[in-house]
């Protein structure tokens, strides 16, 4: 009987794991396809953005048929260009927005906006305000419930973009060609995993 109880406890703990908080890391890469900054056309880029699950918005705003959902960005996100420049957007409570047009008249999108950011490499020498965002564009009425818990594949979107705005110096648009998602468990997630494994091991010895 003790072994059975331990086995049941292990199953219950394992079943509880998916409901705990975790961070989703989206790694992307692509090519600069247009813009006015000299020397970057055709260059490659890569980067990562992050969001948390469960996906609970920090706030919403509705304008007619369009609803904006705002989410915390749990970790700094970044874009690195072929010339070694790296732009880093800092983690914020509302730096991730999901915009849904329930009428379907305009595109929906998911966007990480740099807000406060850090720049290193050649691009840090540009004059004027510098900002960037990472966005995924989809047909209208796609995200009627806000941020999806399971992020869609790149092929599910009309396009995945990196937009860099260097104000008076110019701008760049980059098109994504690859996207992968990885789940990063929170510390509590690891703890439950370890306890479940310990319980299962104890059950096996009985």
Please report the pLDDT score of residue 191 as a whole number.
47
User: Is residue 189 scored above 70 in pLDDT?
Assistant: no
Neighbours of 43 (CB within 10 A): 15
Which residue is it, tokens 């059975």? 4
DSSP state of 90: P
User: Is residue 197 scored above 50 in pLDDT?
Assistant: no
Integer Cα distance of 174 and 63 in angstroms: 29
Name the pLDDT band for 204 (thresholds 50, 70, 90): low
Judge whether 166 and 130 are in contact, CB under 8 Å.
Answer: yes
Judge whether 69 and 79 are in contact, CB under 8 Å.
Answer: no
Tens-digit pLDDT profile for residues 53-112? 988 999 999 999 999 999 999 999 999 999 999 999 999 988 999 999 999 999 999 999
Tens-digit pLDDT profile for residues 141-185? 999 999 998 999 999 999 999 999 987 789 999 999 999 999 998
DSSP state of 82: T
Please state whether the peptide bond connecting residue 54 to the residue before it is cis, i.e. omega within 30 degrees of 0.
yes
Adjacent-strand bridge partners of 182: 25
Read off the tokens for 165. 């705005």
Please report the pLDDT score of residue 4 as a whole number.
45
Name the pLDDT band for 198 (thresholds 50, 70, 90): low
Neighbours of 46 (CB within 10 A): 16
The separation between CA 9 and the C-alpha centre of its own chain, rounded to angstroms, equals 34
Adjacent-strand bridge partners of 48: 27, 78
Name the pLDDT band for 1 (thresholds 50, 70, 90): low
Report the predicted TM-score, pTM, of the whole model to 2 decimal places: 0.81
Using CA atoms, how far residue 165 sits from 13, 51, 87, 176, in Å, is 47, 23, 11, 17
Judge whether 116 and 87 are in contact, CB under 8 Å.
Answer: no
User: Is residue 126 scored above 50 in pLDDT?
Assistant: yes
Which residue is it, tokens 């980067």? 47
Region at 75 (left for phi over 0; alpha for psi -120 to 50; beta for the rest): beta
Residue 194: strand, helix, or coil: helix
Please report the pLDDT score of residue 130 as a whole number.
83
């Amino acid at each position: 009987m003790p072994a059975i109880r331990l086995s049941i406890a292990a199953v219950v703990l394992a079943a509880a794991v998916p409901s705990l908080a975790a961070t989703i890391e989206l790694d992307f890469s692509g090519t600069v396809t247009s813009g006015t900054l000299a020397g970057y056309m055709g260059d490659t880029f890569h980067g990562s953005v992050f969001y948390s699950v469960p996906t609970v918005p920090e706030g919403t705003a509705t304008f007619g048929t369009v609803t904006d959902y705002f989410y915390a960005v749990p970790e700094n996100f970044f874009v690195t260009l072929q010339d070694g420049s790296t732009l880093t957007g800092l983690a914020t409570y509302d730096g991730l927005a999901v915009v849904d047009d329930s009428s379907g008249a305009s595109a929906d999108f998911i966007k990480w906006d740099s807000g406060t950011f850090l720049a290193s490499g050649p691009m840090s020498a540009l004059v004027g305000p510098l900002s960037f965002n990472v966005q995924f564009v989809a047909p209208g009425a796609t995200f009627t419930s806000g941020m999806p818990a399971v992020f869609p594949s790149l092929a599910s979107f009309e396009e995945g973009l990196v937009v860099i705005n260097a104000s008076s110096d110019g701008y760049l648009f980059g098109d994504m060609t690859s996207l992968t998602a990885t789940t990063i468990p929170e510390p509590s997630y690891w703890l439950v995993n370890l306890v479940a494994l310990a319980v299962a091991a104890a059950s096996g010895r009985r």
